[in-house]
Amino acid sequence: MGPVERISTWFSKKVTGHWTFPRLGFKYKFPDNVYMQNSTNIKKMEFVNKNTIKLDKILNELDAFVLKFIKILEKHADYVIVSGYVSILFGRSRSTEDIDIFIKELSKEQFDALYQDLKEAGYWCLNGEKIDELYSYLQEGLSVRFADEGTTVPNFEVKFAKKKSALMAFADPLTIVLNEGNIKLSSLERQIAYKRYYLKSDKDLEDASYIEKLFKGQINLAKVKLLQRMIEDEMAQAGKGQ
């Protein structure tokens, strides 16, 4: 099965117009009788370089929700998005209640400044309102969640990157360039390894397979194996209480 046929088998809902999909430097043009899994509204996607993808996409509500939050967050902290939203951004049809974000560790004063900016922009923290308490959660390796006022989902699950595997995600982030702004993700290899060898739920395994198939030829499988060993070592150490 050729690349065009393989890609077209993943889709099941008709869209109109032409769009292009690159693989190893090539772009494929699809006529308007191609079918997609869902209404992705993706018109064009291409690698600018190994760490940057330009994505021409009509934003859905979740994309707009993410971009609004990120524009505040990036003023205060370096971040990468991991887990379920990544596959959704690239067209997978599935729901999510939260967007998982690792940030580099902040001082209490820096976190307070971030919290105040989020509060002024209409977000509230599901974990509480006391800065000392929220900061202690982050220091303990737990997450704090933010949502629009009056709602609980979707929400952003924000966590300090403390483990080696999380900290290394900042060494090779993947930047998605949208017309409305940029979004930083952990690398495709990290997405696959994190879901396949750490989270392991059916939904996560499906996400990993989706990303692996969608970007076939662009994934460094040796890197996925290396990350697998790192994740399994961390899990083994955690199991020993170290």
CA distance 142 to 145: 10
Give per-residue pLDDT as tens, 80-93: 999 899 999 999 98
Cis peptide before 173 (omega within 30 of 0): no
The answer to whether 221 and 233 have CB atoms below 8 angstroms apart is: no
The pTM of the full predicted model, rounded to 2 decimals, is 0.81
Instruction: Compute the distance between CA of residue 56 and CA of residue 205 in angstroms, rounded to an integer.
Output: 27
Banded pLDDT at 38 (limits 50, 70, 90): very low
Per-residue confidence (pLDDT) for residue 240, from 0 to 100: 61
pLDDT at 24 over 60: no
pLDDT of residue 8 exceeding 80: no
Span 14-24, average pLDDT: 35
Cα–Cα nearest to 125, from 117, 115, 112, 111: 115
| 7 CB neighbour count, 10 Å cutoff | 19
Across all residues in the chain, what is the average pLDDT?
85
**Residue 41: what pLDDT?**
84
pLDDT over threshold 50, residue 9: no
Residue 199 has pLDDT above 50, yes or no: yes
What does 156-222 look like in DSSP terms, one character per residue? Answer: EEEEE--SHHHHGGGTS-EEEEETTEEEEE--HHHHHHHIIIII--HHHHHHHHHHHHHTTTT--HH
17 or 60: which leads in pLDDT? 60
Q: What percent of the chain has pLDDT over 90?
A: 77
- Pairing, β 123-125 against β 26-30: unpaired
